[in-house]
Structure 1
Amino acid sequence: MKIIKSHFVLNREQRSGILLLVLLICVCLAVTYFRDFSQKIPENDPKMAVFQAKIDSIKALKTADTIPKIYPFNPNFISDYKGYVLGLSLKQIDKLHQFRETDQWINSTADFKKVTGVSDSLLAVISPYFKFPDWVVNAQAKKPFTGNKKKSTAQKNDINTASVEDLLLVKELNEELAIRIVNYRKRLGGFLEDNQLFDVYGLPSAVVFKIKDEFTVQTRPEITPINVNEANASDLSTISFITFDIAREIINYRELHEGINDLDELLKIEGINAYKLERIKLYLSSSQK
């Protein structure tokens, strides 16, 4: 009992030391409680701005991870959960399901808006992810063009009286080609048919079709066909596609066969093909006395 008691019996110096220690601990606790030891950084400090930017980027990444990712989907098969994730209201989802229960299909963004009544802002966000079947996409791509109807012959302008300025109304035609058309028309004395436009040098076929949509031969020039059985080489060579050498060959063939009864016989002449013959026939005749 004396041994145990000796451990709790303190002399005056020991009691004073313990009291001093307790006071020192209390003072330290009071100082740490009432004083802020954290280092304050000025708000305009560049280091603070960089540090804050890093914190913001980390927060943004965490926020992005919490947002559900949207993958391409067919809007005909939106479940309740999928609709909730996309931002659709329960009423809009119900309208979609009721529409599908009638065995009808949504085949476009416009159809989806009409059926669900979704707002334009939400539609702009989710519509890029709509994925319709290939047969729907292909069917929409093959829809016939319902633009301007082709003009009738009476509605078209006369190619034989059109000026360069008139021809330039065709967007695909430039001034150089318009001048060539007018000059070629003067050389012919006027176009006898629309297809003679294909003979204008440097004029693409696609542009010819555009011209033919707006212009046609309304007034044919009066010409006297040249008799292939009577004309000399000089007269024959004035016709487009007939050179002087070809004219000589025609005369030789005519003399050898005692005349030409059918202009199709000219296909036997070297240098004349079916395309050229169609143009040549416009200015020749084969009548014999």
Structure 2
Amino acid sequence: MDTGQVYRFTAGQRKGLMVLCGLVVCVQVGWFFISRQDVSDSEKSEEEKQWLALQTKIDALKAKHATKDGYKIYPFNPNYITDYKGYALGMTVEQIDKLKAFRKEGKWVNSAADFKTVTGVSDSLLAVVSPYFKFPDWVKNKKQFTEKTAYVYTAGNKNAAFSKKENIAVPVKVLDINTALEEDLIAVRGIGPAYAKKLLRRRSDLGAFVSMDQMDDFPEFSPEAITGLKKAFKAGDGLAVNKINVNSASLQQLSRFPYFNRDIAKSIITQRSMKGKIYSFDELSKINDIFILKSKIIALYLEY
């Protein structure tokens, strides 16, 4: 047996060995990075737990940094916080959703304590945002009257010409519905921004409201909202209403009048075509029952 024989690899065998070595190296490198990733994920999970445990402090810090980083807080009504504003103030999504659900029930936040109870915000966050809360006047004056001390003359009392009488009812100032701003209307319970804008559009179409009974023209308003409007506002004197001439107005103009519709407008045009002219409100009252039900109001907007 020749022990001096040398074994040689063929070219194909050498290539195979090189590929095998390359695979071994790739497996080792891959295992190294995978094990590192597992450790990293574990550490990240622990960090997330720590952050969640400190969520209360994070809420407060977010609110403080919001004012420093360019988001300036102005006085606002917490009942109308939007998603963006809530986030900018430092509220969580859950807290914002709680407030929205509370408002959908027709309920109102009337104090900082109410806000905390409804949303569950932390005391530190509440301390930051509550100084900016602005509630309408009716929240501060929940009664229709404020109580003041007065002195009333007592007849026949020689020793004391005036005697003290307490708790005299003094009515709260009532605003003119025709000069009211959107924020004045929103202050009424049950009147939100959408309803306030609808009132202002109707006032613009009519020129002015002539009676607070016109609040009944909005069937979508709740009875509470209508009652609140009638208590908080009045229709002032010397009103400049937009009058419509029933003898010269076109079909479109008559149809756009809030107390008419297209059928009534057609009936008016037919009536004046047959008679040549409509001379009085009594003639109109024969066209539709609405003229009888609201005659005092409608008549103030018409001319002949």
What TM-score does the superposition give when structure 2 sets the normalisation length?
Answer: 0.39
What TM-score does the superposition give when structure 1 sets the normalisation length?
Answer: 0.40
Bigger radius of gyration among the two: 1
